[in-house]
Amino acid sequence: MSTNNISSAVINRLPRYYRFLADLLREGVDRISSSKLSQRMGVTASQIRQDLNNFGGFGLQGYGYNVKFLHEAIGKILGLDTAHNMIIIGAGNLGRALANYADFENLGFFIISLFDSNPELEGTSVRGIPVRRMEGLADFIKENHVDIALLCLPKSYAIETARMLVRYGIKAIWNFAHIDLELYLPSDVLVENVHLSESIMRLSCKMARKDESERPDAENE
Amino acid sequence: MSTNNISSAVINRLPRYYRFLADLLREGVDRISSSKLSQRMGVTASQIRQDLNNFGGFGLQGYGYNVKFLHEAIGKILGLDTAHNMIIIGAGNLGRALANYADFENLGFFIISLFDSNPELEGTSVRGIPVRRMEGLADFIKENHVDIALLCLPKSYAIETARMLVRYGIKAIWNFAHIDLELYLPSDVLVENVHLSESIMRLSCKMARKDESERPDAENE
């Protein structure tokens, strides 16, 4: 099945479907109607039908969706049918926190090494995953199959380090530095940025708007 | 200025504008045209004009945007003109990593305490911020002005703990557990979820689609 004509908005929603379907599987639910799934996910049933119709034939009128089949099909679109090896660049608090997330392994993402420029961290490990020095990075990438590099560095080092990773052959970067990394890299390098500060700003924005709408003179503005 | 009629899509983009404007300020740039900002941000100039026109009068034909004014105005909409006190529930690796992010303070988000159910962590601290026991949580919230609780707990504890926080008076939660927390809480509680596993799935989805489109028989499917 080709997925290249599915809109990026739908693609962006697939991980959330996948998560809910995994929960249903764990609960032993075999099939679910779009209306039940709609209640659970807090989106409209018509949105669900529209999104899932992209993949054709998952839902049957009067029967609902086959949870296992849908979970597997979406997992395949998300690339979860193949395992991914990852390395973490930067073994500070965030790098170590991510290395400790065993959850990623359940999805087939395996962290095989951390790297840090601090020589004192060499030989230490996080949950059995070794921390190596940056000097060994090029050889490590050559000798191991590394699919994704996680960038857990301050903004000031991020671009330079990412370009180095690309020179060493890395084609996908999961970036935690406060920067839109794709703007600085060749277009064939895939980047996903996690902007934690933008997330907290969205929350405080909601708070400010709620305060505003609750003020007694709100209508007069 | 009332912001309640601005679409949530625009609101979601504001933190990114704010970040780029902050960079420009640091570089000493006073004003910038929509086309220059467009190049820098990798979005169209017309998108920028449409988004920023929502706030009226920021851009002047032939002059461009006043960076400082726009930065301040957007900051105000994002609620960054007031400081926010935060507590972190769960002092594991992720909670500690977030407590170590001094960056949040630059935006006016101050972490004033961590809480953990593990009695052995009581009396320890992260970057000078004390870790307290969960037993003291209710009193702490009563005696301190806490605006936001960060939830860094496993999924299995998240709902129960969030409901407890709400009973203690918390109105905004920044949630890192793999769950859409707002589905389980009263509608007046503001929630922002960070789903790291969905982010990595979006990256692997891009990788799978790229592999697919690069296969020689791609057109035949």
- Structure confidence by residue, pLDDT tens digits, A183-210: 999 999 999 999 999 999 999 999 998 8
| Residue B176 burial (CB count, 10 A) | 24
Average pLDDT over residues A21-33: 93
Average pLDDT over residues A31-43: 90
For domain B84-198, say whether CATH 3.40.50.300 is its number. Answer: no
| Chain B CB contacts of A87 below 8 Å | none
Question: A3, B147: Cβ pair inside 8 Å?
Answer: no
For residue B154, the model assigns a pLDDT of 87
For residue A3, the model assigns a pLDDT of 60
Band the pLDDT of B54: cuts 50, 70, 90: confident
Question: A204, B180: Cβ pair inside 8 Å?
Answer: no
List b or e across B181-200, with b for residues whose CB sees 16 or more CB atoms inside 10 angstroms: bbeebeeebbbbbbbbbbbb
Average pLDDT over residues B83-103: 90
- Intervals of CATH 3.40.50.720 along chain B: 84-198
Nearest C-alpha in B relative to A203: B192
Give how far A218 is from chain B: nearest CA, Å.
8
| Chain B CB contacts of A210 below 8 Å | 188, 190
Question: A174, B18: Cβ pair inside 8 Å?
Answer: no
Structure ipTM: 0.90
- Intervals of CATH 3.40.50.720 along chain A: 84-196
Mean pLDDT of chain A: 90
Question: A198, B41: Cβ pair inside 8 Å?
Answer: no
Question: A192, B200: Cβ pair inside 8 Å?
Answer: yes
Question: B101, A196: Cβ pair inside 8 Å?
Answer: yes
Query: Which residue of A43, A111, A201, A214 is the best one to mutate when testing the B interface, meaning the one whose CB has the most B CBs within 10 A?
Result: A201
- Tally A–B CB contacts below 8 A: 201
Q: A162: exposed, middle or buried (C-beta count within 10 Å: 0-12, 13-18, 19+)? A: buried
Band the pLDDT of A100: cuts 50, 70, 90: confident
Closest by CA position to A83, among listed B81, B137, B200: B200
Among A36-40, A51-55, B41-45, whose mean pLDDT is lowest? A51-55
- Whole-angstrom distance between the N-terminal and C-terminal Cα of chain A? 53
Query: Per CATH, the architecture of A8-77 is what?
Result: Orthogonal Bundle (1.10)
For Cα atoms B116, B120, B123, give the angle at the middle one, nearest 5 degrees.
75
Picking from B172, B182, B207, the nearest residue to A207 by CB comes out as: B172
Q: What residues contact residue A62 under an 8 Å CB cut-off, 6+ apart? A: none
Asked whether the beta carbons of A176 and A150 are under 8 A apart, the reply is yes
The whole-model pTM stands at: 0.87
Band the pLDDT of B221: cuts 50, 70, 90: very low
Q: A99: exposed, middle or buried (C-beta count within 10 Å: 0-12, 13-18, 19+)? A: buried
For residue A95, the model assigns a pLDDT of 92
Helix (H) or strand (E) holding B189: none
| Chain A CB contacts of B88 below 8 Å | none
| Chain B CB contacts of A220 below 8 Å | none
| Chain B CB contacts of A192 below 8 Å | 199-200, 202-203, 206
Question: CA A158 to CA A174: how far, in whole Å?
Answer: 11
The length of chain B, given as a count of residues: 221
For domain A84-196, say whether CATH 3.40.50.720 is its number. Answer: yes
Band the pLDDT of B12: cuts 50, 70, 90: confident
Band the pLDDT of B3: cuts 50, 70, 90: low
Q: Strand A64-66 vs strand A31-32: parallel, antiparallel, or unpaired?
A: antiparallel
Nearest C-alpha in A relative to B192: A203
DSSP A114-169: EEES-GGGTT-EETTEEEEEGGGHHHHHHHS---EEEE-S-HHHHHHHHHHHHHTT
- Intervals of CATH 1.10.10.10 along chain B: 8-77
Nearest C-alpha in A relative to B16: A198
Asked whether the beta carbons of A109 and A148 are under 8 A apart, the reply is yes
Largest CA-CA distance found in chain B, in angstroms, rounded: 67
Asked if residue A101 has pLDDT above 80, the reply is no
Question: CA B25 to CA B48: how far, in whole Å?
Answer: 18
Average pLDDT over residues A202-221: 78
